[in-house]
Amino acid sequence: MTSAPIELAVSTVIFALRPAADSSRRTVWLPLVRRIREPEQGKWALPGGPLEPDQELSESAAFTLNETTGLSPSYLEQLFAFGNVDRSPGNRVVSIIYWALVREEEAAEAVVTENVRWFPADDLPELAFDHAEIVSYALGRLRGKLEYSNLGHAFLGELFTLSTLREVYEAVLDRRIDPANFRRQVETSGLVRATDQVQTGGRHRPARLYRFATPAASTAPTQE
């Protein structure tokens, strides 16, 4: 046990959907940062850093997101505080975790540097501290929340076909979904509304474009 002050850090789990390495099927990816200092030097970790005294929690998370990827957050939400006494060797660190969801075209523009690399969520390297547990928790929340909210919005543009929406669900839930069942469920859910526009081009017949019935919601309080 230490009598030093408890350190407060903010880290961010950044999720994007990208094609899997071995197919065109999309899966969930996230960027990690290689640690260049002890403890846990050389291991991969979630991007983050200590909270500055004059920095809002969400500002700290947005700063990290920008520093790691060059992106600005379109969906950024506080997830959970991880604070086990023994989670960091030598000092007590409580990490407040945010998650950011990034559209595929945004992720494609992410800056790549030597010590930042994107990994598929189902094939991660060894992570520092309890970050594997944090990623696993974030994935569980992502999957759970997709099922009862319009969270998928964060991965899509304003207009999308039902095929594209299904691909988001397939990527996040990591399983095939029957197209006819999916169409039926989505259309009765009231989650999306058909527009009078269609998507043309490609080898397929024109596909109806949809939009979400309500704006992307966040469960975060209004503060920050």
For the purposes of burial, counting CB atoms within 10 Å of the CB of 87, is it exposed (0-12), middle (13-18) or buried (19 or more)? middle
Instruction: Report the distance separating Cα 198 and Cα 190, nearest Å.
Output: 19
Nearer to a copy of itself by Cβ, of 71 and 138: the residue is 138
Q: Which of residues 107-126 bind a copy of itself (CB under 8 A)?
A: none
* Burial readout 95-113 (b: 16 or more C-beta within 10 A, e: otherwise): bbbbbbbbbbebbeebeee
56 belongs to the binding site for a copy of itself (CB under 8 A): yes
Among residues 15, 82, 155, 212, the one that binds a copy of itself under rule CB under 8 A: 82
Among candidate residues 101, 83, 96, the one with its CA nearest the CA of residue 18: 101
74 belongs to the binding site for a copy of itself (CB under 8 A): no
185 belongs to the binding site for a copy of itself (CB under 8 A): no
**Shortest Å, Cβ 130 to a copy of itself:** 7
Among candidate residues 219, 18, 29, 48, the one with its CA nearest the CA of residue 131: 48
Q: Which of residues 137-176 bind a copy of itself (CB under 8 A)?
A: 137, 141, 144, 148
81 belongs to the binding site for a copy of itself (CB under 8 A): yes
**Shortest Å, Cβ 73 to a copy of itself:** 17
